Structure 1
């Protein structure tokens, strides 16, 4: 479960750092590598707050809004909230997951649960280990993740 939490955080982080624009050749390569470097540094942070939106164009029009809060300077606190829409129909409380005071809280589309954090493998006082799934990728593989990418100051 720790890896699942970390993977979800990596996904959210990567979605917030990704942006579409026209990048060619060396610019695309440099921007791709800068993106993955920024993502790695974000995953190593002891605290962060990220908000973002994403649109997925398939045969169904999907969009979503997410908010991620992580603070593990003291006791672990994590909040991941996701709302969205499918084909223009709003879907609230798609996924709300919290860790606080040694407990986990889940509210997903009306289904609620509460448990001890120990039940998902988090011992009292333990921090989430950052797991960067992209560390083993070559620069060429990282570059292929994007159709286009650009960097402007601290936005990717």
Structure 2
């Protein structure tokens, strides 16, 4: 009887292990397609929080509106928190009518977009690092995947994230997971969680960062609200 119970327990353990490491190429490719479509949007509103934990904890809150109709319009606001000290409106950056406007902790300035190598009359797109990957190469980047409704959960190859974070090899990522919600073949939200270690010369410390992002009004945003005193920057 004990032997039979042992066999049954082992059977269900193997099923559980197999389920944890399962992988659906269809789901993986659906995510990358949504990722690509999101990057190509001509307008949208993104809010995100980046939390970094190492020796100290830092949090960056980002609010970004982007609109490309006749010219490029951007409204970016960042709040910063470190060691419990928070600075609201740490940085604000705007573009409109071919000009750029910067407010950094109360110090304002303005310039022109061409100084950044950007033509305001041309549509710009965000660089997609996976554009030239084949379907099989994209699937190889993911170690496991699961899907619950329109939520996709992926375990990413740690070596990929290590290389993206630091090409010098000082970062060793131990785990990297991504949960993404896909609606209308675009991302509506995602959470990326990465943990590992960073080594610089003789010093080594644990690192972890989380990016929690919400994406709204893709290709639906009609206008951006700018500060009334923008021209005085």
Change (3 A) 1:112 1:136: farther
Query: What number of residue pairs does the alignment pair up?
Result: 134
Q: SS of the counterpart of 1:149?
A: strand
Structure 1 match to 2:141: 141
Q: Is 1:123 aligned to 2:152, yes or no?
A: no
Matches within 5 A, 1:46-85: 46-85=42-81
Task: Decide whether the 8 Å contact of 1:72 with 1:127 is kept in 2.
Answer: yes
Alpha-carbon contact 1:24-1:148 (below 8 Å) kept: no
- Which residues of 2 match residues 1-156 of structure 1 at below 5 A? 24-27=20-23, 33-136=29-132, 138-139=137-138, 140-141=140-141, 143-144=156-157, 145=161, 147-152=176-181, 154=183, 155-156=189-190
Deviation for aligned residue 1:87: 1.0
* Superposed CA RMSD: 2.8
CA distance in 1, matches of 2:54, 2:26: 29
Distance 2:27 2:83 in 1: 32
Shift of 1:104: 0.3
| Counterparts of 1:51 and 1:134, CA distance in 2 | 23
TM-score of the aligned structures, taking structure 1 as reference length: 0.69
Question: Which ranges in structure 2 are unaligned for 5 or more consecutive residues?
Answer: 1-18, 143-155, 162-174, 184-188, 191-233
What do the CA deviations read for 1:18-54 (whole angstroms, capped 9, x no partner)? xxxxx94335876665444322211101111111222
The whole-number CA distance in structure 1 between the counterparts of 2:35 and 2:65 is 16
Mapped contact 1:97–1:105 kept (Cα < 8 A): yes
Question: How far apart are residue 88 of structure 1 and its match?
Answer: 1.0
Larger strand fraction of residues: 2
Change (3 A) 1:113 1:41: same
Q: Distance in 2 between matches of 1:47 and 1:78?
A: 10
Q: Which has the higher helix share?
A: 1
